[in-house]
Amino acid sequence: MTQLVLASASPARLAVLRAAGVLPVVRVSGIDEDKIADELGPGAAPEKVVTVLAEAKAAEIVPGLAADGLTDVVVVGCDSMLLIDGELQGKPGSVDIARRRWAAMAGRSATLLTGHCVMRVIEGNIVRVASDHSATVVHFANPSTADLEAYLATGEPLQVAGAFTLDSLGGWFVEKIEGDPSSVIGIGLPLVRTLLERVGVSVSELWRTQSVL
């Protein structure tokens, strides 16, 4: 029976999949995202950057699957970044950077890009690959200074793309979105369903699969 392997440490992506009836095995990719983005060069299209990163995350965990007894799997890799003023923004990593980003995006709109890659892996061999990206417009509120500082102090925005979440505390500061909400959380179910179909796996097959690792 085919098992879905999520190549991500994101608890939000895992929660989306679990809520959608899939219990994936989690394997965390250790790629150097900044290095890969730098190698693509400053002229790379934002959509290409997030998609290539998703592909790299998925590919990086494949060599170890067979040793874990995972011989019939689909690996899903994702990467999200916020596109605002023509620049991609990933995880801020510090309060100061997150504060500056919120100063730039508060009361405005930006596009959350999420690259997705699905790899069909049999006996350790990649037999089919499908990848694409989703784009969702996010309209941000203009939080008060007190609310923003309280949000920054939680640490939540420091380790998420664009310094905000939709499904947790950051949701208070999102006015609306135009597009797929699950992709803003980090993994777009409609797009993943399409990519699964391209590699020959139906969503209903995965509903019946239970993680044991």
pLDDT tens digit sequence for 45-69: 999 999 999 999 999 999 999 888 8
The answer to whether position 213 is within a domain reads: no
| Of the candidates 42, 44, 154, 52, the residue with the CA atom closest to the CA atom of residue 98 | 154
- Residue 157 confidence (pLDDT) above 80: yes
Strands 72-84 and 3-6, how do they pair?
Answer: parallel
Residue 189 region by backbone torsions, left for phi larger than 0, else alpha for psi between -120 and 50, else beta: alpha
Output the CA–CA distances (angstroms, integers) from residue 57 to 92, 147, 187, in the order listed: 20, 35, 14
- Both tokens of 17, joined, read 């999949």
Cα separation of 20 and 17, whole Å?
Answer: 5
> What total of structural domains would you count in the chain?
1
Cα separation of 164 and 174, whole Å?
Answer: 9
pLDDT tens digit sequence for 90-102: 899 999 999 999 9
The answer to whether position 125 is within a domain reads: yes
| Angle between the N-to-C axes of helices 95-105 and 145-154, in degrees from 0 to 180, rounded to the nearest 10 | 140
Cα separation of 93 and 114, whole Å?
Answer: 19
Least confident among 14-18, 87-91, 131-135, 192-196:
87-91
**Where does the pLDDT of residue 32 fall: very low under 50, low under 70, confident under 90, or very high at 90 and above?**
confident
The answer to whether position 54 is within a domain reads: yes
pTM over 0.85: yes
Residue range(s) defining the domain that contains residue 157? 3-207
User: Which three-class secondary structure state does DSSP give residue 104?
Assistant: helix
Strands 3-6 and 25-26, how do they pair?
Answer: parallel
Output the CA–CA distances (angstroms, integers) from residue 187 to 118, 120, 123, 148, 180, in the order listed: 12, 18, 26, 26, 10
Cα separation of 156 and 165, whole Å?
Answer: 8
The answer to whether position 170 is within a domain reads: yes
pLDDT tens digit sequence for 69-94: 899 999 999 999 999 999 999 899 99
* Percent of the chain with pLDDT strictly greater than 90: 83
Lookup result for tokens 């899903």: 76
Cα separation of 152 and 149, whole Å?
Answer: 5
Q: What CATH number corresponds to the domain at position 157?
A: 3.90.950.10
Q: What is the mean pLDDT of the segment spanning 200-207? A: 91
- Both tokens of 77, joined, read 């890799």
Lookup result for tokens 């309060």: 95
The answer to whether position 132 is within a domain reads: yes
- Residue 210 confidence (pLDDT) above 70: no
Question: What was the pLDDT predicted at 37?
Answer: 87
The answer to whether position 185 is within a domain reads: yes
Cα separation of 75 and 112, whole Å?
Answer: 22
What mean pLDDT value characterizes the chain?
Answer: 93
Q: What is the mean pLDDT of the segment spanning 97-111? A: 96
- Catalytic center residues: 79
